[in-house]
Amino acid sequence: MKPVTLWSRILIPAIAMAWLYSGVHAADDFASRRAGMVKVIAALTADTSTETGRHALDARVMAAMEQVPRHKFVPPEEEPYAYENRPLPIGYGQTISQPYIVALMTDLMRVKPTDVVLEVGTGSGYQAAILATLARAVYTIEIVEPLGRQAQERLQRLAYKQVETRVGDGYYGWEAHAPYDAIVVTAAASHVPPPLMRQLKPGGRMVIPVGAQFLTQYLLLIEKSDDGTVSTQQILPVRFVPLVAH
């Protein structure tokens, strides 16, 4: 065994400290960028208040946006852009939605800590992670199998234990866990899927973009009253990838 020299006793701890410092610095940088992203979301919320009727988003939603590490839900080559307010490609022709839209859709759902939520279109798992900080349970479905498997592994690794994932056709919902207090669809449908309406609990809310891929799409807020009647509110124009169904 070689003797430990004075130089190695100095150098090895120094390298370890440098590595630790770089990790802490990176974590601080991401936290700072998340805080900046949240400020942008707040400014955009104020700018779009005429369309949405919301001058500010719920504090719990904003806290979730500042807490969840978006950079861990995008491919490595997209990580430098993770906290910019724009969608990013995640592979297989799919995207992670821009942070403002994620925050707005989450706010529209009015998720309570006791709620059970369904998400159609898991993607990278980012929206599910945001919901997991707010709800009791989140069930999320992804039709693109590789994305669904990746999201499942990612959510488990990041300890979002309230989330259960499934690969399948989200158009038909997830009957086993219905009814849901809230449903969110993260791809544009040509119409509101009837199975999802049936699985929405009386008193529940659904947020879904509706419209054709190359035409105007609108974000809709659908509310089911306690007596089962349905009301629909058009929030603002959006652009989403199309909802894929078998």
Assess whether pLDDT exceeds 70 at residue 235. Answer: yes
Strand partners, 207: 184, 221
pLDDT band at 70 (very low <50, low <70, confident <90, very high): very high
How do residues 164-214 score in pLDDT, each as one tens digit? Answer: 999 999 999 999 999 999 999 999 999 999 999 999 999 999 999 999 766
- % of the chain surpassing 70 pLDDT: 87
Residue 97 annotated to the active site = yes
Assign 244 a pLDDT band (cuts: 50, 70, 90). confident
- For 16-37, write each residue's pLDDT tens digit: 444 444 444 566 789 999 999 9
**pLDDT over 90 at 79, yes or no:** yes
What is the overall mean pLDDT for the chain? 90
Q: Which fold has domain 29-238?
A: Rossmann fold (3.40.50)
Give the active site residue among 97, 124, 190, 231. 97
Domains of the chain by residue range: 29-238
pLDDT at site 228: 87
Looking at residue 22, its pLDDT comes to: 47
Would you call 40 exposed, middle or buried from its count of C-beta atoms within 10 A (0-12, 13-18, 19+)?
A: middle
What is the average per-residue pLDDT within 116-131? Answer: 98
pLDDT the model gives residue 27: 65
